[in-house]
Structure 1
Amino acid sequence: MIDLGISKLALIGAVALVVIGPEKLPRVARTVGALLGKAQRYVADVKAEVNRSMDLEELRKMKDSVESAARDVETTVSSGANDFEKSWSEATSGLDGAPSSGYDDSLGRLGVDLYPSYKHPRKNWRIKQKAMPQWYKARVGVRTRTQSGAARVARFRPRSTSVFR
């Protein structure tokens, strides 16, 4: 980049003062500063766009590698599942419906559930489980009656006591 020292900037300022004149020099300096600022912002935007595109390309490469790894895992799992199904069918093909290993199928035929369905341990949540006593509500300060906002303000408004009456 251009190497501008203090001496070179002073020389440029003196020449600009002579050529442009002292009346127009501040306006020209502001314009040049604004143009330099715009140029710097433009260069920064271009750099950011290039960095974004490079990051996007890296992310695309990473996405492709992850997708290919996922496809490999999927094919491995599906081939393993097929092998398991074949071996399972071969192992159970000779059983011809006879119960083994202590499992008694007669309970299932009688209508008894071998595996009962899940029932939540709590009672019906719509039914009130317990009541809070009135003395506890009074001690803790739970409101038992509703009041409008205006009634509440009127109730808790400090009483005006006039000393001068």
Structure 2
Amino acid sequence: MIDIGLSKMALIGAVALIVIGPEKLPRVARTVGTLLGKAQRYVADVKAEVNRSMELDELRKMKDNIESAAREVQHSVQTEASHFEQDWNQAVSGLGAAASPETASDGAMTVVPSYRNPGKNWRLKRGATPRWYKARAGVRTHVQSGAARVARFRPRSLH
């Protein structure tokens, strides 16, 4: 950059005072200051844009590296799964029909139970808490409508 010391600044100021004059010097100084400020902001914006583009390029490279690593892992998992499936099929085919899980030793077919949905009810609070504790703490264990709940807790008349 330009090396401007105090003596050079004083010389520039004296020349400007003589050339421009004392009446116009403050206005010119303000104009020069605003132009220098705009130039500094413009340079800062350009630097920030260059830094952003460099960071974006680095992120793209990192993303490509991660995607390639993920593809390699997926490929290795698929190949291992196919090897396992082939080994499994060979092992199952080697057992024969006598050891089939559906056939019992006497030749009768056994019924394997299928999956049954547990039938959870989201309105009820269930867990490992004992029923006696729930009853004492007032936790709801049965679904009840609002009207039934009001009727349940309504004081009974003494007739």
TM-score (norm 1): 0.66
Query: Could you list the runs of 5+ residues in structure 2 that have no partner in the other structure?
Result: 125-140
Residue 118 of structure 1, CA deviation: 2.0
Kindly indicate whether residue 125 of structure 2 is the aligned counterpart of residue 107 of structure 1.
no
Tell me the distance in 2 between the aligned counterparts of 1:53 and 1:133.
70
Q: SS of 1:37's equivalent?
A: helix
Tell me the distance in 2 between the aligned counterparts of 1:105 and 1:126.
45
Kindly indicate whether residue 52 of structure 2 is the aligned counterpart of residue 52 of structure 1.
yes
Kindly indicate whether residue 129 of structure 2 is the aligned counterpart of residue 127 of structure 1.
no
Q: Which residue in the other structure is 2:14 paired with?
A: 14
Correspondence list, 1:128-143, <5 A: 128=146, 130-131=149-150
Q: Which amino acid aligns with 1:107?
A: V
Q: Which amino acid aligns with 2:55?
A: D
Q: Which residue in the other structure is 1:33 paired with?
A: 33
Tell me the distance in 2 between the aligned counterparts of 1:107 and 1:25.
104
Between the two structures, name the one with larger relative contact order (CA 8 Å, sep ≥ 6). 2
Tell me the distance in 2 between the aligned counterparts of 1:21 and 1:125.
94
CA shift in 2, pair 1:105/1:117, >3 Å? farther
CA shift in 2, pair 1:5/1:92, >3 Å? same
Residue 114 of structure 1, CA deviation: 4.9
Query: Could you list the runs of 5+ residues in structure 1 that have no partner in the other structure?
Result: 136-165
Residues 88-127 of structure 1: per-residue CA shift (max 9 Å, x gap): 1111113427228x9x96233xxxx454312215277673
TM-score (norm 2): 0.68
RMSD: 2.9
